[in-house]
Structure 1
Amino acid sequence: MKLTIERGDLLDALSHVQNIVERRTTIPILSNVLLEATQGALKLTATDLDIEAVDSALANVSRPGSVTAPAGTLFDVVRKLPSGAEVELELNPESQRLTIAAGRSLFELPTLPAADFQTMTPDEGAVSFKIAAKDFARLIDKTRFAISTEETRYYLNGIYLHAAKADDGSAVLRTVATDGHRLALAELKAPKGAEKLTGVIVPRKTVGEARRLLDGLDEDVEIEVSDTKIILRAGRAVLTSKLIDGSFPDYARVIPKGNDKKMTVDNKAFEAAVDRVSTVSAERSRSVKLSVSNGRLTLAVNHAETGAGNEEIEAEYESEPMEIGFNAKYLLDIAGQIESSEVEFMFNDPASPALVLDPSDDSARFVVMPLRV
């Protein structure tokens, strides 16, 4: 194998695939990236056996071939080469080492045979649809913060992606995530073909890699979903992942229906006040008490060891006064997803979950469970 490639093109392709690679693995070849040189292009593939990332770049190939090389080391070497450099990659047939040459720089990396590298194959009967990259990125951003990190509840360790019916009966593509303490839901009009999508759980790592792939893209991406895999195609890049084999809970039962006590506050002021007051909250619970009455919201923390703090901000509220506690981090995560200048809280009582809404975006909803304070 021998080829010449522009350093920027190689770095872009490597950056899309090398994050998949596990730094610590008992299977040596999983630390490597597969390099396949064909006429006019270099294809790169990385996998951890659950996720596979593929990207390619234009290259001047003088000798086709394939090999695997250490992904992390190769990425670091290319990243540190001068911008705009022409990089020559060559597999030495005698030493079986990959030579990387650029200007006066010369590196040799160990390799493993390409034949030992495992790749994933797509499933038959997949649902396929196209969606604007920015729209799919929004569905991810609005919900991924609520993904559970508790491995024992593995079915919550991802985003639930499915087609659903909106209140007006139209078909929507919806994402939902919850960790049992909070829930985030986002939706948009279902793209053509997506109406047939039954619920699948996309793993947390896959969600992160997909979001990285979508960053800065202005074009449509193609998504294929089967019973066991999801495939995301964006330009030359392809991300394939296994799905979580489990049943996502009936989230509709968690979303409050009868919360009739409405509080409206300035979102930036609320976010800043929660951030300040929670500075003295106990590190484990991070609880903040909200005392709401007509025209006023008071946020307070009172802890015997860490201290006390309170702050008052203006609020629109016309129901009877109420006190309710929440985890400050959960409030800050939700506030970060509100695009309007104001945020609406719908309460029932101090022991019931609150519904949080964005006045400028009725396609996103958030639920947060209260704490005892």
Structure 2
Amino acid sequence: MSDRSTSEPITVVGLLADPNLPGELATRLADGLPQVLSARLDVPRTWRVETVVEPFEANDRGEGALDRARERVRRTRWDVAVCLTDVPAKSSGVPVVAQVGERERVAVISVPALGGVRLLPRVRDAVVDLVGRLLGIDAAPAARRPTRRTALLHEPGATTEDTDETVVTQRGSLRLLAGMVRTNRPWRLTLGLSAALAGAAAGSAFGLLYSNLWELAAALDVWRLALAFVGSLAIFVFWLIVGHRLWERTGPERGLGRLLNLGTVLTLTVGTGVFSLVLLVLNSAVASVIIPVDYLAQVLGRPVGVAEYGRIVVLATIMGLVAGAVGSGLEDDATVRQVAYGHRQQDRRDLAARLETVSEEE
């Protein structure tokens, strides 16, 4: 350590994060955060960052995320703590970006409220802003000009005071909804639907191998095929929700409950949409190999081209999606339920209870 760093006070910043995406973000932030804090906060200080990933937000002590964060950080020697959770919150019907406890120097960031794009830079900016705020340190001159990312915490009128706590809010449920879908990570759902993929492959094979279905596909109007394709996606999503009990009952915050369910539906829609695109590509490759042009022209009784192949592939994909929806009922509940906040929180409560039991035994 240099002479300059040894003469400066050391400030320990704790990053406490829920598992899954918040934990991944905290881990990625930790390495470069001391340098960012030194560059953006106007104070000579040595920064040290410690990261803990555990389901602090699932602990039922206290009334809210900030209370549970306070309970957890009391066991640490951090100078300031910033906690990351993927659980959305609202205050007076407005999405909550962060909850700040000035006295204990603790803040909780609701990651979904930061949106669905450029998430890591936004979380980094929010963490730096909150650390400076809790320690009473002004931003360095070079960092005082707010960017579009930091505007989430700097817009005038975005905070409401309540004793020593501050709730930072930001209008825009669409941003929150996009952040919820991003936090649910729908691509993981797509990768986990192995049983559904097997069913979809069987259904698609039936559509690609039977000449009667070729004739039907060629006879259907484009709008009928499009409507059937959308309907098959809706069946898939509905089957996942019902088969794995993903619909969450609305609690006291009815608006937030509806938003949670809407986020689940959109996540499933994105996930099944990616699933259908993969199936379309696979069916196109198979159709180009196993259906000869001459034989298809003989069956249809006219010259054929890309349009006829496209109709057959779409119809086969529709059949595959319906079969995949049935096959999704055989999927492991844990794989599918990770897209629903309520089930994810229940898993974290179980983990938190186990960790607390182990701690008491030690």
Of Structure 1 and Structure 2, which has the larger fraction of its residues in strand?
1
TM-score after normalising by structure 1: 0.26
Of Structure 1 and Structure 2, which has the larger fraction of its residues in helix?
2
> Which protein has greater RCO, CA pairs closer than 8 Å, 6+ apart?
2
